[in-house]
Copies of this chain bind each other. A is one copy, B any other.
């Protein structure tokens, strides 16, 4: 018998309880022993929930109960979530979390603590919701030099961009609709400004390159400035608009990492990842391109990933998994403004002025006001604007 405790009975926490009950048989077959949900820690009471009787308010009960093998952190944020994770690991519990803010900010410290206590700190649900991603990257692709990761990591923004192209509706209208449908939070800032995608690409980068990269270090541009004109131009060029988190090694071995909307050519498998779905493309020097696709958020998909981690902990109780997050050395990051990218530019400048500024550009079919530049850094583009070249918008093209 393996006993587990859930911290926080919100969307994810209640989803985990639901999946543990609903799929009891399947889980039992895999864990080879029964899994019992013993406690739910929350400040509130849930008298109407079938799990109401499990609710406690004092974390030290969990900390001091030797029967508890796995603690599932679903509180969110970096406050008590961090404190309880730390205390649980020190008390010899495995910890599973879906909390990307916690992992992106404190992953290195918590993995070190887990190692010191010979316990697991697993967080498959923190990136891509239910999509298997971290285990494949850390283990299945361990024989590769990871050349690039480009991911549609946020379902809210992908829903808005998909609808913008299909229905020619403006950002504000679509955000409101996403909120009505429950695809966007009441406060959508982290999603639409790219912060959520940024935390996720930081976690992927750490697993791929063995260096912790902090969200504050990463150039992050969201989709609030994207217009229906941008969508129309991308479509004219046979491209889709996607908010991507990207990380890749540049020539001097430094790591380029950034979040930005991109014009994605139809040949890329990312172009057809629509609506609230996520898609993550990983390019390895042996495997080539692999892509992972599915629902990147939602109660049950996220709970699916959490429960997968719980099963792994139960199956391998005394066998710590080494995720290979790597050493505590700072990452050498490339200056984003110098990373050469092709840009889809909208501009009212005449073709002579465009040629003088950019050299040989490729106009998008049927558009005199939109073209794709040769590779150039954002700094170069900004310099042209400062010199008076008028740019309506500039969005990198995924190559």
Residues of chain A whose beta carbon lies under 8 Å from any beta carbon of chain B: 19-20, 22-23, 25-27, 29-30, 32, 124, 130-132, 135-136, 138-146, 210, 269, 272, 284-295, 298, 300-301, 303-308, 310-312, 315-316, 319, 321-322, 324, 326
Contacts and interface: CB of A to CB of B under 8 A. Distances in A.
Nearest to A128: B290
B294 A290 contact: yes
Contact of A29 (B210, B290, B304): B210
A293 B294 contact: no
B293 A291 contact: yes
A23 B124 CA distance: 25
A321 B310 contact: no
Contact of A286 (B19, B32, B135, B145): B19
Nearest to A327: B29
A155 to B, nearest CB: 12
A311 B269 contact: no
Contacts of A321: 316
A300 B287 contact: yes
Given A27-B142, A142-B308, A142-B312, 4 more contacts: A19-B144, A140-B305, A289-B295, A291-B291
B269 A286 contact: no
A139 B311 contact: yes
Contacts of A27: 142-143
Nearest to A306: B143
Contacts of A19: 143-144, 286
A132 B140 contact: yes
Residue in A32, A293, A298 with the greatest tally of chain B CB atoms within 10 Å? A293
Nearest to A320: B319
A144 B295 contact: no
B319 A30 contact: no
